[in-house]
Copies of this chain bind each other. A is one copy, B any other.
């Protein structure tokens, strides 16, 4: 070995071993033109023999671009977000970029920490599913030239944003229940401090209004999915109970199913096996893959130099009738 001491061989080591200048090795490694084939071959042989691998940190330090992007989602283990993650990864791969991903756990402080960590690693851009609404901490990063895209929810900054049609989807879901004769429809959803939850609740109210049905606060419950079961049980044991339930997200839909009660049900978010339950679970489906892919494409367009005004894309949702939403009152 010709390693200068410990650790990995460097371009310098390769150059010395091959008896050429460091710059020639650099040219070979980067596939730059202007190297005689014989020379290139000799250098490549040494690279192979020494197990040389370019030090990306040094390269980044010099060039300024890292060919990596940061992705902040709520939880990499959640099927919705892991689908989004995969889509982002695929688009990044096509653009020769790597993805750093992290879970914010719906905690704005953790989100901020992750984003700043990514920025310290000089990612070229960020895709963020905002946990909070205050993104002033991002200002200076944007000024420094980092591109950012918000996905799934709007953030507190005017940058490219990709959303799903939450209120429209909820409205369609509730209207579906109305169409099947229901007049007492419960809404069980996330805390409305979360954007998507608030939008879905708004869609619920709108559908009621359009059907000429009164809004009854005793039929509306918001909070963590863990409480959805007990809440439903309580509602059903009251007088004038609901005959149908609109569940504000996938976890709540499952929680409702676990209670064993079988009111008519439409859930926001599709999930695997929804079609295999009896009856099948009618859902309003989002498309996490398209969400991720769209956000990534938008980001790479910025990285390619697009300086147009920030875009706001809204993706449609799709009602999938499977049985549970078609039960009579």
Contact = CB atoms under 8 A, between A and B. Distances in A.
A196 interface: no
B82 A51 contact: no
B76 A66 contact: no
Interface stretch (A119-127, A175-183, A216-224, A313-321): A119-127
B86 A98 contact: no
B57 A66 contact: yes
Given A57-B66, A254-B272, A121 B144 contact: no
Contacts of A258: 276
Main SS of chain A's interface residues?
mixed
A56 B120 contact: yes
A294 interface: no
Given A57-B66, A76-B85, A116-B53, A101 B101 contact: yes
A230 interface: no
Given A83-B77, A98-B102, A101-B99, A56 B122 contact: yes
A304 interface: no
B277 A57 contact: no
Contacts of A68: 121
Interface residues of A, number: 51
Interface in A60-117: 60-61, 64, 66, 68, 75-79, 82-83, 85-86, 89, 98-103, 116-117
Interface in A126-165: 139-141, 143-145
A276 B56 CA distance: 49
A277 B275 CA distance: 10
A227 interface: no
A88 B80 CA distance: 19
A255 to B, nearest CB: 11
A290 interface: no
Given A7-B144, A82-B77, A103 B121 contact: no
A272 B257 CA distance: 12
A312 interface: no
A68 B117 CA distance: 11
A42 interface: no
Given A51-B144, A76-B89, A79-B79, 16 more contacts: A7-B145, A51-B139, A51-B143, A56-B122, A57-B58, A61-B61, A77-B83, A79-B82, A89-B102, A89-B103, A98-B117, A98-B121, A99-B101, A272-B272, A276-B277, A278-B278
